Amino acid sequence: MSVMSDDTSVAPPAGATRMQSLRLFAERRRSFWVVLSLLALFTAWEIAGRIPISFAFPTFLDTLAAFFEMVGDGTMIRAFFLTLQPLVLGVAISALLGIGIGIAMGLSDKLEWLFAPVFIVLQAAPMAALVPLVTFVYGIGLVAKTLAVIMLALPVIVLNSYKAVRHVNPSLVDMCRSFQGSRRQQIFRIIIPDASPVLFAGLRLGVAAGFIGVMLAELLITPTGIGDLITYHRSVANYAHMYAAVAAIIAASTVTLALLQWFETNVMRPEKRRS
Amino acid sequence: MNAAALANPALAKDEFDPASIVTNDPVVRVEAISKHYGATEALRSIDLQFERGKLTTLLGPSGCGKTTLLKIIAGLVPATSGRIVVNGRAVTGPGPERAFVFQDFALMPWATVMRNVAFGLELKGRGATERNRIARHYIEEVGLQGFEDKYPHELSGGMRQRVGIARAFSVNADVLLLDEPFSAVDEQNRRKFQEDLLRLVEMERKSFIFVTHSIEEAVYVSDRIVLLSPRPGRVSNVIEPRIDRTANPDDIRRDPGYLDVVEEIWQGLRHYAE
Ligand SMILES: Nc1ncnc2c1ncn2[C@@H]1O[C@H](COP(=O)(O)OP(=O)(O)OP(=O)(O)O)[C@@H](O)[C@H]1O
Ligand SMILES: [Mg+2]
């Protein structure tokens, strides 16, 4: 996922043939394999669209054309603007609240007993079924959609953060105590850094769940943003445009998760860059 | 912090006094310490005194409570009863007079060697320049110069433990508590480490409490060996090896006196193994 993390520029040795330098490139660069994997996916998509496997399944190139058309006429950008509002808001609230509650639960048994049952139930509940209920209470506006995002993102972030703190290496905590570290130093210099890989795993799952939440909200509560593009183009049988909207939101989600991973390896855990 | 200023070669050649099992100025006193983990009785009524400037080893079969006793002395584990007196004052938790070297190194994987070694000073709020200077000194002392910017996963097990030892030294505690520091090291490196440890004991005017499984290691490095019985741990014997450490290391290991002490301890522990 961290495409940029292990790229090393490789100058082909003097006199190397083009084939050799390509092989060298393939061995050193992960981006080569990412591109290869995407090419394979898109080729399969193109072939499946040309057979076609269904009259409602457009080819990759048609979808790409539809995508650029929608970017060109501004509909895609407007749709993202609408979709990103509840998404960013909901994910930000879930991340802050979720990591906070999760860490607190990990640090205190009392808080664990208080919160764990709630979030375990919430995580187990089929949230999609609850999304329409939100509409009853909060209508069809930004609040309802933000709530839908939070409902999906928060439990997984809380439970992962909690688990992350509980799995901190006890010997590191002892080490901090043996040097008379305060509880505060223990939390911020040992527990949170040591928990950060699992914290980030929870955050990534939470962000992915947030994307599900916002799409559910836009498809179930009221069609706006990307959800509206999907619904509208389906209703008028504009399948290439519909798929372009679906693919765009998937791409947005993937890029967000990759950025999160990049942030984790480069900012939080510098040692992971070298190995 | 200058090592040369602290070096006290006289310490290493102290005359042995058989009556000195109880000393007037013990750095650590263990008084009637007992420890239960739930229904498990780990330690029963341990009374010990650790001499200042000496290296005392806790030796005993696996599970006899060596780590438990060391952690109680460190203030990391509460005793069920009894008390620990350090420099004449009863202590109930960790303190600046004691520094711990962990069996599993306890290094922060996200921090460089430099930051790990300086971490004890960082927690005490020392400035970056000062703590890095001190840390650099001890990194050199344990032979890790050039590795300051490496991360723990880039080091071998032996090198990681040197980081742990340098970290314990850098806070300038009076007592160093070492829990099987060399257990992750192969035999050749282990010998090298033991010699390095002896050199550090000589250079730094500190007291050491050292846990090991290895009888040879105990006899080679210790001024005094405390033998613990199997669970519940009790003091079964105290031995002073009287090794002349001015001799060269290979001669020491071939010295009949050294071999006799190894044999004596082995006989003492043998009936537990059977
Ligand atoms: N946290 C704990 N909870 C319950 N029992 C424990 C705990 N720590 C140690 N014990 C028990 O106390 C006894 C002494 O353990 P300890 O780790 O001190 O032994 P040890 O002499 O260091 O052993 P080893 O040589 O294998 O390291 C063992 O029987 C162990 O099972
Ligand atoms: Mg042990």
Judged by a CB distance cut-off of 8 A, whether residue B95 touches chain A is yes
Residue B102's pLDDT is: 93
Range B263-271 average pLDDT: 76
Q: Which tens digits make up the pLDDT trace of B56-107?
A: 999 988 888 899 999 999 999 999 999 999 998 999 899 999 999 999 999 9
Q: Which tens digits make up the pLDDT trace of A149-168?
A: 999 999 999 999 999 999 99
pLDDT at residue B23 is higher than 70:
no
As a whole number of angstroms, the distance between CA A64 and CA A68 comes to 6
Q: Tell me if B227 CB under 6 Å of ligand 1.
A: no
pLDDT band at A102 (very low <50, low <70, confident <90, very high): very high
Output the residue whose Cα is nearest ligand 1's atom 6.
B37
- Pick from A254, A246, A266: nearest CA to A207: A254
A111 C-alpha to ligand 1 centroid (Å)? 30
Residue A173's pLDDT is: 96
Residue among B94, B110, B124 whose CB faces A178 most closely: B94
Sequence ranges of the domains in chain A:
85-238
Distance from the Cα of B210 to chain A's closest Cα (Å) equals 16
Range A85-114 average pLDDT: 94
Judged by a CB distance cut-off of 8 A, whether residue B100 touches chain A is yes
- Pick from A173, A189, A191, A183: nearest CA to B100: A173
Residue A10's pLDDT is: 47
- What ipTM was reported for this prediction? 0.85
CATH number, domain A85-238, options 1.10.10.10, 1.10.3720.10, 1.10.357.10, 1.10.1060.10: 1.10.3720.10
As a whole number of angstroms, the distance between CA B230 and CA B65 comes to 8
Residue among B71, B120, B152 whose CB faces A179 most closely: B120
Residue with tokens 């020392």: B126
